[in-house]
């Protein structure tokens, strides 16, 4: 599918980050797009920007949907068929995702399962629900967003990230399994897994609001006191490995709130921009790549894991990643 003009695309998680960037890129190329998000404010901002840029005659529709909820997803698909005036779609970007549920030991079960369900069930449910519309097309493509945490199941090397990583491994395996499924049972469909490294998005902010404690600026004293108690019980080397500033232990609660809010905002500036990520993804779709690595950090980690599989979870494994980056 080298040309998106006149095609119909569905993009989940279209309210911020890569989802918003994909929506804007597709619309600018003449693709009709249905975008969903669970945060109405974010989706409205995407709509405002996209409508201003949309070529004449393009159908762009927005939909509120929690991709982890099957009833929501089924309603979303019904709305897409109605509002896009179609009995088929050509592209499904399963992009919605959040962090959270880092530890199976310490995280609340509800937080853990909420993060896992958004990241994995969201992909499965949307694929299952939109499959009839894809099968009805003359040409279709599913693009599922996994992560570098689908190569190595820890954040930044050593930080526990169990719900997210388990889900992203599942997304990767599911997408690879679809390749042969489609080859023999629906040869006009393709499947691609996207493995982004660091991309400056609002995932940290969205995670806090959807599966965490909410906006850090509004954290209660009880929440901060519990966090501080956990930090105090950890050795210094653990705090450093977990990317926790030891100075937080001695900060006032108001200082902790301000620090964590600032760190959330700083996540937007890591890695490459969402626009650059969207360009890489769409370029890979045009070339029919079954796997798309997004960012030099993703490429370096992929090579390091394949070259040094038995050292992948050593605390100093990043030395291999850095060596691949330099090469």
Residues 41 and 78 in one domain: yes
Q: Which of 246, 266, 286 is the last residue of a domain?
A: 266
Taking a C-beta distance cutoff of 8 angstroms, is the pair 268, 202 a contact? yes
Residues 35 and 122 in one domain: yes
Whether 140 is covered by a domain: the verdict is yes
36/160 same-domain check: yes
Q: Are residues 168 and 247 in the same domain?
A: no
Range of the domain at 250: 215-266
Q: What is the pLDDT of residue 18?
A: 94
**Phi/psi zone of residue 51: left (φ > 0), alpha (ψ -120 to 50 degrees), beta?**
alpha
In terms of domains, do 149 and 251 share one? Answer: no
Mean pLDDT of the chain: 89
Q: Same domain for 106 and 242?
A: no
Residue 148 and residue 235 share a domain: no
Output the pTM of the full model.
0.84
Counting every residue, how long is the chain? Answer: 327
Q: Is the pLDDT of residue 202 over 70?
A: no
Q: Where residue 149 sits, what CATH number does that domain have?
A: 3.40.50.720
Quote the tokens at residue 36. 């969903």
Has residue 50 been placed in a domain? yes
Q: Which of 158-172, 192-206, 258-272 is predicted with the least confidence, judged by mean pLDDT?
A: 258-272
* Predicted confidence (pLDDT) per residue in 94-134, tens digit: 999 988 888 999 888 999 999 999 999 999 999 999 999 99
What is the distance between the alpha carbons of residues 176 and 163, in angstroms, rounded to a whole number? 20
Sheet holding 189-196, edge to edge: 60-64, 32-37, 8-11, 91-94, 140-145, 189-196, 291-294
Give the residue among 94, 92, 89, 93 at the shortest CA–CA distance from 133: 89
- Check pLDDT > 70 for residue 175: yes
Percent of the chain surpassing pLDDT 70: 90
* Tens of pLDDT, residues 39-59: 999 999 999 999 988 999 999
Residue 229 shares a structural domain with residue 285: no
In a shared domain, residues 279 and 250:
no
**How many of the other CB atoms lie within 10 Å of CB of 232?**
10
More reliable by pLDDT, 202 or 105? 105
Same domain? For 249 and 278 the reply is: no
Closest to 124 in 3D by CA, of 78, 189, 191, 79: 191
Total number of domains in the chain:
2
Domain contains 310: no
Do residue 86 and residue 186 come from a single domain? yes
| pLDDT tens for each residue of 267-317 | 565 578 999 999 999 999 999 999 999 999 899 999 999 999 999 999 889
Among residues 178, 209, 193, 118, the alpha carbon closest in space to that of 148 is found at: 193
**In this predicted structure, what is the pLDDT of residue 241?**
59
Residue 190 falls inside a structural domain: yes
Instruction: Give the per-residue pLDDT at 132.
Output: 98
Q: What is the pLDDT of residues 211-247, one digit of tens each?
A: 455 677 777 888 778 778 777 877 776 666 566 788 8
For residue 208, what pLDDT band results from cuts at 50, 70 and 90?
A: very low
Q: What is the pLDDT of residue 165?
A: 95
318 found inside a domain = no
In a domain? residue 156: yes
> Tell me: the pLDDT tens digits for 7-26?
999 999 999 999 999 999 99
Do 96 and 225 lie in one domain? The reply is no
The CA distance from 307 to 310, in Å, is 9
């Amino acid at each position: 599918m080298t040309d998106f003009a006149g095609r119909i695309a569905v993009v989940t998680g279209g309210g911020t980050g890569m989802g918003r960037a994909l929506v804007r890129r597709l619309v600018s190329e003449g693709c009709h797009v249905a975008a969903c998000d669970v945060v109405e404010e974010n989706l409205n901002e995407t709509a405002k920007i996209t409508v201003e840029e949309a070529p004449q005659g393009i159908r762009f529709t927005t939909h509120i949907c929690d991709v982890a909820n099957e009833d929501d997803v089924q309603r979303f698909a019904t709305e897409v068929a109605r509002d896009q005036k179609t009995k088929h779609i050509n592209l499904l970007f399963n992009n919605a995702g959040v962090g959270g549920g880092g530890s199976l030991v310490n995280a609340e079960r509800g937080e853990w399962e909420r993060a896992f369900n958004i990241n994995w069930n969201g992909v499965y449910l949307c694929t299952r629900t939109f499959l009839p519309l894809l099968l009805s097309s003359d040409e279709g493509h599913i693009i599922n967003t996994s992560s570098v945490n689908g190569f190595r199941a820890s954040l930044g090397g050593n930080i526990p990230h169990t719900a997210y990583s388990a889900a992203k491994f599942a997304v990767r395996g599911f997408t690879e399994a679809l390749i042969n499924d489609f080859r023999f049972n629906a040869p006009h469909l393709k499947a691609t897994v996207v493995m982004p490294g660091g991309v400056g998005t609002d995932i940290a902010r969205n995670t806090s609001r959807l599966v965490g404690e909410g906006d850090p600026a509004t954290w209660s004293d009880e929440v901060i006191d519990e966090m501080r108690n956990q930090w105090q019980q950890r050795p210094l080397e653990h705090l450093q490995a977990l990317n926790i500033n030891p100075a937080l232990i001695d900060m006032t609660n108001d200082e902790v709130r301000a620090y964590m809010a600032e760190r959330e905002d700083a996540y937007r500036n890591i890695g490459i921009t969402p626009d650059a990520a969207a360009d890489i993804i769409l370029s890979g779709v045009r070339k029919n790549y079954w796997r798309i690595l997004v960012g030099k950090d993703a490429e370096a980690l992929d090579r390091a894991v394949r070259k040094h599989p038995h050292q992948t979870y050593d605390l100093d494994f990043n030395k291999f990643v850095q060596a691949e980056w330099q090469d």
